[in-house]
Amino acid sequence: MNTPTSSPTMSRTRVLTGITTTGTPHLGNYVGAIRPTVQASLHSTTQGFYFLADYHALIKCDEPARIQRSTLEIAASWIAAGLDPERVMFYRQSDIPEIPELTWLLTCVTGKGLLNRAHAYKASVDKNTASGHDPDADVSAGLFMYPVLMGADILMFKAHKVPVGRDQIQHIEMARDMASSFNHLYGEHLVLPEAVIEESVALLPGLDGRKMSKSYDNTIPLFSSSAQLKKLISGIVTDSRAPGESKQTEGSALFQIYQAFASSEETTAFAKAYAEGIGWGDAKQLLFERIEREVAPMRAPYEELINNPAKVDALLLKGAAKARALATPFIQELRQAVGLRSLASTRSTQAVAQSERIAVPAFKQYREKDGQFYFKLVDPQGRVLLQSLGFTSPKDAGLAIGQLQQDGAKAMAELGSQVILGEGVSATELSDSLASLRTELAEKAKSKS
Ligand code: TRP
């Protein structure tokens, strides 16, 4: 069948992720975000966008020195772990002024109700309510707006895939919602992103067995000295089984951390040692050695960068310039789309408002090799909203089109299986498109008479 020719995408899959700059990177950040992005950046099929989310840091941290230090430490960790700033976009969020600008454009198409449902905001409100405080006590508007800022990070660079932890999935879904609302109003400008959850490194447990996280104070810093690393590992919780007693791998934080660093052969051998009753002291020594093997070679490059913050600044600014080469023209396109544009712009504002705001679709009729007559409804970006099956005569096809133009979505029921919705098109979207088409036809008729 005559399917719309979607231009073959020669461009690479864009993968984007950020780390909030509020603390010292720990092993959880390393296995969950730093290491996988470094590995992904080596594939030539992807284009990576990796950044330091320092605007996000302001939401939960009011210590300027800490944000500054954390930015340096995370940037240095990423590079020491092998990220090549030449191959990817590596930048600091606050060096891209287009991001807060896009945040505002998205703010205006995001329902307040959507943000009310964000987990992080809701958790704060619920906590206040449970303890009898004002629901909004200590809740900043920044916390409330967090998902919109994150949406801007993602949509600014038309990211396809966003690797994140489970707790962030909702934010990616919200970014999709924002992109759809924007596109619906102003035309197809934004790309709908998808969350990518790395199952194998789902969540690294911390010293106490809960998720490794700053907020639980149970982390192992990625770049502690070898002696410190050893000391911290000796503090990982275990049960009280004595050496010689067989141990359980399930629920063992020690085992899970080991697994995150080891090959599958090494993990199998470690599980066998558990079964054979390895003592906890020996197991901790093996874990220490395994982590040390991976981290030790990164210590010198890390120290080098930490001691040369100006060098890191320069790298990040260079990255920002590269990123802005994309962001600046794109925000111009979006400003144009929403009406923040030159007053001398040649098209009459009325006409532009009609044709762009509502983005009127059009019917296209054609004949197929099977001799039958078809039509489809296509939006201004070429997306198929509705597709007919074959009609025996062009007149029948024309009548069906007339019915759709006149009765809108109601005609869908009458036409039954003769027409099918385009891929990913909702009934509401179709009905809105038909309505805008009807309005336009009416306007045209009026201006002619
Ligand atoms: N909110 C993310 C976190 O705390 C960090 C982040 C900010 C991010 N902007 C992003 C992650 C955009 C992915 C994409 O983990």
User: What's the mean pLDDT in 177-184?
Assistant: 96
Alpha-carbon distances, residue 352 vs 54, 154, 317, 338, 433 (angstroms): 38, 28, 38, 11, 17
Domain covering 8-202+308-338, topology: Rossmann fold (3.40.50)
Helix (H) or strand (E) holding 272: helix 264-275
What pLDDT shows up at residue 448? 62
* Residue tagged 């981290």 (tokens): 295
53 ligand 1 Cβ < 6 A: yes
Q: What are 224-266's pLDDT values in tens digits?
A: 999 999 999 999 999 999 999 999 999 999 999 999 999 999 9
* Mean of per-residue pLDDT scores for the chain: 90
Sign of CA dihedral 314, 319, 322, 326: negative
Q: What is the pLDDT of residue 6?
A: 36
pLDDT bin (cut points 50, 70, 90) of residue 332 is: very high
Pocket residue to mutate for ligand 1, from 15, 56, 58, 89, most atoms within 8 A of Cβ: 56
pLDDT at site 344: 87
CA of 19 to the centre of ligand 1 (A): 6
With both helix axes pointing from N to C terminus, report the angle between 141-156 and 309-338 in degrees, rounded to the nearest 10: 90
Name the pLDDT band for 326 (thresholds 50, 70, 90): very high
- Write phi, then psi, for 315 (nearest 5 degrees): -60, -45
Paired sense of beta strands 419-421 and 373-378, if any: unpaired
The response to whether residue 92 sits with its C-beta less than 6 Å from ligand 1 reads no
Percent of the chain exceeding pLDDT 90 equals: 72
Residue 352 has pLDDT above 80, yes or no: no
Is 424 buried (19+), middle (13-18) or exposed (0-12) by CB count in 10 A? exposed
pLDDT over 70 (residue 286)? yes
Domain ranges of the chain: 8-202+308-338, 223-306, 349-448
Cβ(162) – ligand 1 distance below 6 Å: yes
**Which pLDDT score is estimated for 166?**
81
Kindly give the distance from the C-alpha atom of residue 432 to the centroid of ligand 1, in angstroms, as a whole number.
34
Does the pLDDT of residue 354 top 80, yes or no?
no
Q: Report the C-alpha gap between 160 and 166 in whole angstroms.
A: 17
C-beta of 358 in contact with ligand 1 (< 6 A): no
Strands (E) located in 284-389: 362-367, 373-378, 384-388
Give the atom of ligand 1 at the shortest distance from the alpha carbon of 19.
5
* pLDDT more than 70, % of the chain: 93
Evaluate whether 403 touches 434 at the Cβ level (below 8 Å): no
Candidates 77, 74, 148; CA nearest to 109 is 148
Is the pLDDT score of 9 beyond 50? no
pTM for the predicted model, two decimal places:
0.75
* Residue 117 structure tokens: 């449902």
Judge contact between 65 and 71, C-beta under 8 A.
no
Alpha-carbon gap, residue 236 to 205, rounded angstroms: 10
Residue the block writes with tokens 């020996």: 282
Which residues lie below 8 Å from residue 285, measured CB to CB, with a gap of 6+? none
Contact by Cβ (8 Å): 149, 103? yes
Give residue for tokens 């950044």.
51
Mean pLDDT of 293-297: 97
Mean pLDDT of 356-373: 81
Angstrom distance (rounded) from CA 250 to CA 52: 35
CA of 176 to the centre of ligand 1 (A): 15
For the stretch 108-132, pLDDT in tens is 999 999 999 999 999 999 999 999 9
Residue 198 has pLDDT above 60, yes or no: yes
Q: 4 versus 371: which is more confidently predicted?
A: 371
Q: Nearest CA to 270 among 253, 260, 258, 261?
A: 258
Architecture category of domain 349-448 in CATH: 2-Layer Sandwich (3.30)
Give per-residue pLDDT as tens, 44-83: 789 999 999 999 999 999 999 999 999 999 999 999 999 9
Say yes or no to pLDDT of 358 above 60. Answer: no
Residues 223-306, CATH architecture: Orthogonal Bundle (1.10)
Q: Report the b/e string of 24-50 with b at 16+ CB within 10 A.
A: bbbbbbbbbbbbbbbebbeeeebbbbb
Residue 67, CB half-sphere, CA atoms under 13 Å: how many? Answer: 17
Tokens read off for 194? 């998808």
